[in-house]
Chains A and B, each alone.
Chain A
Amino acid sequence: MSNLLNYTLRIADNAIILGQRMSQWCSNGPTLEEDIAMVNISLDLFGQANGFYEYASSIDGNKSVDDFAFLRSEREYFNNLIVEQKNGHFGDTIVRNFLFDAYSVLFYNKLSESKDEILAALGAKSLKEAKYHLRHSSNWLIRLGDGTEESNIKVQKSLEDIWMYTGNLFEMDDIDNELLKSGIAVDNSSLINDWDKKVNEILDKAKLNKPEDCYMQTGSKKGLHTEHLGHLLSDMQFLQRAYPNAKW
């Protein structure tokens, strides 16, 4: 597989996995308005996934969007670890999304300057949506952190539990570095200062404490995931796997 294809799949996989997680909130939201908001976010993410998979498909020349989306094994997805974490309660979801959204905005902003025109265009389009997602998750994190004592305790725990997956967002491997040389990829490690700033700003407003530094989980770029991904994929891929010759 070419570096460019692998790199594109990483971005697409983040979108589809987080999109799948958000879609699970349908009819489960704390208010009807939030149900709509979260499904909206899910739709945006699937749209992003679709765009990046289409590019992947044209790079590959053979596989279709759905082949990429539904027919790879657990070890062939390259999304970041944080997006496959379970929804948990609403606070867990908001914390997970906030930490990822803050990264996403910075990432897409840089991607929109990529020397690869298609990635740049996709990045620019996705950036608009990512900004809205960040607004949504920031607003909620503030209200949950600075809401009741109960809500503050809950999201503080969410933060502590998921913190070990944040480091993974800023890793650079050989593929990243190779593509960075040609101005195509984003330098993830350069995003961490601005990410920290944003996180500090919102956690401060939310009256939450930033977790202590800890060992950061890793491996996503090699297709090494948490056990959650397997279950998510077996559900998502079921019909395609059960009816191999069918067109949908």
Chain B
Amino acid sequence: MSENTDVWEVFIQSKNGLAHKHVGNVHATDKEMALQNARDLYTRRNEGSCIWVVKSEYIISSESEDGEAFFDPSNDKMYRHPTFYTMPDGAKNI
């Protein structure tokens, strides 16, 4: 039997309301053990309220060569950012 164990990427939500953040990976033979290992490795200092584990093979990544085509078009669409607009003085809540 090959000794290679499955690798799982770990995402931690440090506080209720915040988004999960990628922190690294763990090795485990099944999802229950992956959760346990992630908890022992990544939340020793109270850094977590919720843990996600995902088998590494299920993460799809964009390639860095795609960079320009994938991400640059949003670079010149500044109208998506609120700072693009000048608001009249005195207008509140907008």
Contact = CB atoms under 8 A, between A and B. Distances in A.
Contacts of B41: 33, 36
B44 A40 contact: yes
Interface of A: 31, 33, 36-37, 40, 135-136, 139, 143
A105 B35 CA distance: 21
Going nearest first, the 5 A-B pairs with the smallest beta carbon separation are A33-B37, A36-B40, A37-B40, A40-B40, A139-B32
12 contacts: A33-B33, A33-B37, A33-B41, A36-B41, A37-B36, A37-B40, A40-B40, A40-B44, A135-B36, A136-B36, A139-B36, A143-B33
Contacts of A31: 5, 27
B44 A139 contact: no
A33 B5 CA distance: 12
A142 B36 CA distance: 15
A214 B19 CA distance: 54
Contact of B26 (A33, A135, A136, A143): A33
Q: How large is the interface on B (under 10, 10 to 19, 20 to 34, 35 or more residues)?
A: 10 to 19
B28 A33 contact: yes
A139 B36 CA distance: 10
A37 B36 CA distance: 8
Contacts of B5: 31
Contacts of A143: 29, 33
Contacts of B28: 33
A143 B41 CA distance: 21
Nearest to A37: B40
A136 B5 CA distance: 19
Given A36-B37, A37-B37, 17 more contacts: A31-B5, A33-B26, A33-B27, A33-B28, A33-B33, A33-B37, A33-B40, A36-B40, A36-B41, A37-B36, A40-B44, A135-B36, A139-B32, A139-B33, A139-B36, A143-B29, A143-B33
Nearest to B44: A40
Contacts of A36: 37, 40-41
Contacts of B36: 37, 135-136, 139
Contacts of B37: 33, 36-37
A89 to B, nearest CB: 19
Nearest to B41: A36
Nearest to B38: A33
B30 to A, nearest CB: 8
Nearest to A32: B27
